[in-house]
Amino acid sequence: MLIIRQSQLEAFEAAAMQRFAKRCKKFLKEFFKDWSQDKPEEDLGRFVEKMLQFTGEHGISREKNILKMMELKVHYSFPLPLPERLQDVLLPIDRDEDYRMLRFNKALEPGQNELIRIDLDSDSQLLRRKY
């Protein structure tokens, strides 16, 4: 019988995370050349580490979604920690990960952050035309 100690599992996990972090850096350098070209390797590493921690805390574990979250961070420069309205979009973490990512992406798009006050006197024709 093969017995693997906890320390061995942790070493395998750390090595896998290092390989994934390398792939993330390669992804950023390849697809976001303008953003990454002037960044020192250490800064790029810190960015990847911060985003891996962020996605882990929010239950984002699929590689495609982690890379998408990095893409959204580069493109929209959303603040960390997240404002409450964005935090609510990523929660609860027991919901489908792809669905939460889609909602998060939509919430970051321009014009999605505006609230409209609607009351009984609102002009419904105007609302239909504007939105």
CB atoms within 10 A of CB 89: 18
Ordered by start, the domain boundaries in the chain are 7-110
Across 32-50, average pLDDT? 96
pLDDT of the residue at 38:
92
- Average pLDDT value for residue range 39-54: 96
Which pLDDT belongs to residue 5?
82
Query: Residues for the chain: how many in total?
Result: 131
Distance CA 55, CA 120 (A): 41
DSSP readout, 42-55? Answer: HHHHHHHHHHHHHH
